[in-house]
Amino acid sequence: MKFSIYQESRVGGRRENQDRVAYCYSRDAVVMIVADGMGGHLHGEVAAQIAVQFIAEAFQREATPKLADPVRFLLDSITNAHFAILDYAEVRRLLETPRTTCVACVVQDGVAYWAHVGDSRLYLVRDGRVEMQTKDHSRVQMLVDLGRLREEAVGVHPERNKIFNCLGQMTPPKVELSRRALLRHGDTIVLCTDGFWGPLGAREIGERLASGDVMHGVPQLMDLAEARGGAERDNLSVVAMTWADEVAEAGSWISTLAMETNEKTTKLSDWGKAAGEAQSHLTDDEIERAIDEIRSAIRKHSG
C-alpha cells in the first residue's frame, strides 16, 4: 500500500477535548477512526476513548496482515465498543452512561469500507469534489430528508446536536455500513467530527483537497473551521488519507511494502493528553483509575 495520512484534534473554544482520533496500519490494511464524545452526557471523552482504542486494538489483533472480512470487522468492533462503554458505566456505577458518535474506515486491497453511528462523518473526495459521504443520524438530517431544511444549513441549526443513534445508548446502536468503494489514485478519505464539518461545506472540503495534499490542505481546513466557529466553537478533529498507486512520487507518502507480516503502526492520542485541552476536570489519580477501567472494559469484549 501507498498513502499519505494526516491526523489532528483541537479543543476549539471548549475547556476540554471530548473528541478522539486514531489510525493504525499493517502491511496490507489500514483503519481510521474518529469519535466525538457527547458533551451532554457524563464522561463523553471516556466513551470516545473506548471507541477508538477498542477498534484500533481489534485491528492490531486481526489484521495479519489483512482482515478476514472488513465489513464484519467494522460491525463487530463498533458494536463491541458500545458494550465496553456500558460495562465501564456499570463498574463506575454511573447514573448516566457515557455516549459517543463514531465513524471508522478500513482500506484493504485498494477498496474502502466504512461504518458510522451518529453525526461524525466520512467524505470520499475525488477530483476535487465529494463523491460520497455518510448520512447523519440526527434530528436535522431528518429535516433535510423531509425537504424542510437545506443541507447547507445543517451545521448552524439550533437542533444540530440532537443525535438519535450513538454508542452508549440504552439500546444497541444501528451501525450503518457503506457499500464498498474502489479507490483511484489521488482519492482522499476524510473522517471528521461535526466541529470540523459544521462550519464548512462539502463543496469547500472537496475543492480544498483537490490536490490530494492532506498534509497542507487539512490544516488549512482546520484553521478555517476554527475561525468560523467563533468563541463557542466545538472540538474539531479529523483523520484524512490520500490513496496512491505504487508509482506515486516520493515525499509524504507512506509505503508499507517493507513491513513485516505482523508489524503494525498506530497513532492514538494518549488518555489525558487530548490535543489543545486545557486542564482536565479529572485528577491524576482519577485519570489513572479511568485508564485501568477502560482497559478492563475493552479486554472483556475483545476476541
Q: How far is CA 174 from CA 79, 170, 191, in A?
A: 9, 12, 19
Q: What is the pLDDT of residue 279?
A: 47
DSSP string of 177-224, one letter each residue: EPPPEE--TT-EEEEE-HHHHTTS-HHHHHHHTTT--HHHHHHHHHHH
Q: How far is CA 129 from CA 73, 85, 151, 244, 298, in A?
A: 29, 36, 16, 17, 38
Q: What is the pLDDT of residue 3?
A: 96
Q: What is the pLDDT of residue 293?
A: 87
Counting the structural domains of the chain, the total is: 1
CATH of the domain at 199: 3.60.40.10
Give pLDDT tens digits along the chain (303 positions).
999 999 999 999 888 899 999 999 999 999 999 999 997 666 899 999 999 999 999 999 999 999 999 999 999 999 999 999 999 999 988 888 999 999 999 999 999 999 999 999 999 999 999 999 999 997 777 776 676 677 666 666 666 677 889 999 999 999 999 989 999 999 999 999 999 999 999 999 999 999 889 999 999 999 999 999 888 889 999 999 999 986 656 668 999 989 999 999 999 976 655 544 544 566 777 778 888 889 899 998 987
Start-to-end Cα distance in the chain: 27
Q: What is the pLDDT of residue 252?
A: 80
HEC letters along 37-86 = ECCCCCCHHHHHHHHHHHHHHHHHHHCCCCCCCHHHHHHHHHHHHHHHHH
Place of cell 469519535: 35
Q: What is the pLDDT of residue 53?
A: 96
HEC letters along 2-19 = EEEEEEEEECCCCCCCCE
C-alpha closest to that of 236 among 200, 281, 186: 200
Q: What is the pLDDT of residue 148?
A: 67
**Cα–Cα distance, 206 to 190 (Å, whole number):** 10
Q: Residue 74: which domain range?
A: 2-301
